[in-house]
């Protein structure tokens, strides 16, 4: 391994992934001398990023003393994460390993606009930090999951059909400002080693599409060996997240996975929220099913109402959910044929048995047997917390990636 591939940040990655967890293993993996490995580990310990684990590795072949195991210390900082849905928001404090330390949630409409939503979110973050007993100075980043397309490079929501007022709004900048306003009294908590406190303009705020965030979390924590993972979320809208070789696939500007706006040839009169006709979301989303139920006299105003009717076994809801699954399956035949994933996960308000049955019917009926021979069609494992866990993990991976970690270590040493 070359010198620039064996920095302190790279050693941290080897430890975090379990590739090398002792000083000896790090020497063998990197080719660095014992003293150089020791020096770089000293940096990581000084930053508070490492700890010595409870277990030990076996000694050398000659019967040497067992080596202490090195672990990433997930308690040295926290991340804030929020999962924004169309009518409801979850906000949480998580440690760096993804454990939720405190959580707040409640009704909040995304169509109220970014300023109101982000201000309320900052208030909930402050309350959750108090509940977790964690000063705001320990926050190292914020991750936001949103129900719309996101340009990953700029961190801005782009032309979201169900998020009026959010198009290209400076979400990260406003989130930093609102968080600083709601946590300013906690500045008396004392100095921090890591110069990324909440009063700093450098506090990372990462924004990502909800299906991408959920796919990242579900693949990482449930199917880590799956090289091609596809998640489809069916709620107010319909979107997909794709993870290939452990990395989110976003396309060139964040538009990958927006399958809700694939046109169905036989639904020319179905008006979508995007303004077009015949979109899959206009026919098979939670919002669409709510409208269809209301049209036959069943009270329903949202995907949440549809889910409640499904839980109660209401025949009209069951029938419509199964048909919606077939329409989504119609589109997924092409998607699965193109991507050849190992796992297709269905999640969202409609992702129960009737919908799943409909998807399976169309998928296995129309896709080539080879395409589905090794495909698992499953429902979510992380449930309602997938967005929170994924948003938190996204921030951690950003901050502790080798290059970024080295930059932060250099800043701390000044």
Render pLDDT for 339-356 as a digit per residue (tens, 0 to 9).
999 999 999 989 888 999
Q: End of a domain among 72, 95, 110?
A: 72
Same domain, 371 and 306: yes
pLDDT at 79: 98
Q: End of a domain among 19, 46, 72?
A: 72
**Average pLDDT of the residues in 98-124:** 95
- Interhelix angle for 114-132 vs 171-183, to 10°? 40
Tell whether 12 is covered by a domain: yes
Q: End of a domain among 56, 72, 88?
A: 72
- Helical segments of 247-401, H only: 280-284, 286-295, 303-311, 315-339, 353-366, 369-372, 386-400
Q: Give the chain's mean pLDDT.
A: 91
pLDDT at 55: 59
Same domain, 55 and 180: no
Instruction: Give dist(CA 14, CA 25) in Å, integer.
Output: 10
Task: Give the model confidence (pLDDT) of 205-215 as tens digits.
Answer: 999 999 999 99
**Which of 63-67, 196-200, 302-306 is the least confident region?**
196-200
The pLDDT confidence band at residue 148, using thresholds 50, 70 and 90, is very high
- For residue 65, the enclosing domain spans 3-72
Q: Is the pLDDT of residue 4 over 60?
A: no
Half-sphere exposure of 268 (CA within 13 A, CB side): 1
pLDDT at 164: 93
pLDDT at 100: 95
Instruction: Give dist(CA 7, CA 17) in Å, integer.
Output: 16
Domain count along the chain: 3
pLDDT at 202: 78
Q: Is the pLDDT of residue 191 over 60?
A: no
**Average pLDDT of the residues in 255-275:** 93
pLDDT at 186: 44
Same domain, 68 and 92: no
Higher pLDDT, 247 or 194: 247
Q: Is the pLDDT of residue 3 over 80?
A: no
**Average pLDDT of the residues in 266-287:** 94
């Amino acid at each position: 391994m070359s010198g620039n591939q064996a920095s302190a940040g790279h050693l941290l990655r080897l430890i975090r992934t379990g590739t090398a967890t002792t000083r000896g293993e790090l020497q063998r993996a990197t080719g660095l001398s014992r003293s150089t490995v020791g020096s770089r580990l000293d940096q990581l310990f000084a930053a508070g990023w490492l700890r010595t684990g409870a277990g030990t590795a076996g000694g050398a072949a000659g019967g040497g003393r067992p080596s202490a195991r090195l672990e990433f210390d997930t308690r040295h900082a926290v991340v804030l994460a929020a999962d924004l849905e169309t009518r409801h928001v979850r906000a949480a404090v998580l440690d760096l390993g993804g454990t939720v330390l405190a959580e707040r949630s409640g009704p909040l409409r995304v169509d109220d606009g970014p300023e109101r939503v982000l201000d309320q979110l900052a208030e909930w973050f402050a309350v959750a930090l108090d509940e977790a007993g964690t000063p705001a100075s320990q926050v190292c980043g914020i991750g936001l999951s949103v129900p719309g397309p996101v340009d990953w490079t700029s961190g801005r929501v782009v032309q979201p059909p169900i998020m009026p007022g959010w198009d290209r709004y400076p979400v990260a900048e406003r989130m930093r400002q609102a968080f600083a306003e709601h946590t300013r009294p906690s500045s008396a908590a004392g100095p921090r080693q890591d110069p990324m406190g909440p009063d700093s303009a450098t506090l990372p705020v990462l924004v990502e599409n909800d299906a991408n965030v959920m796919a990242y979390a579900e693949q990482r924590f449930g199917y880590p060996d799956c090289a091609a993972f596809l998640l489809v979320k069916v709620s107010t809208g319909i979107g997909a997240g794709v993870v290939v070789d452990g990395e989110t696939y976003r396309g060139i500007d964040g538009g990958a996975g927006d399958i809700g706006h694939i046109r169905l040839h036989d639904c020319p009169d179905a008006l979508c929220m995007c303004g077009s006709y015949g979109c899959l979301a206009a026919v098979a989303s939670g919002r669409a099913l709510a409208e269809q139920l209301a049209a036959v006299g069943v009270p329903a105003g949202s995907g949440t109402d549809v889910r409640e009717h499904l839980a109660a076994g209401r025949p009209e809801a069951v029938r419509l959910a199964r048909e919606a699954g077939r329409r989504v399956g119609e589109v997924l035949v092409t998607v699965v044929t193109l991507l050849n994933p190992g796992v297709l996960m269905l999640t969202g308000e409609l992702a129960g048995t009737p919908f799943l049955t409909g998807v399976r019917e169309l998928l296995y009926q129309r896709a080539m047997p080879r395409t589905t021979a090794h495909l698992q069609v499953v429902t979510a494992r992380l449930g309602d917390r997938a967005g929170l866990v994924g948003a938190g993990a996204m921030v951690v991976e950003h901050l502790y990636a080798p290059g970024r970690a080295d930059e932060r270590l250099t800043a701390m040493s000044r």
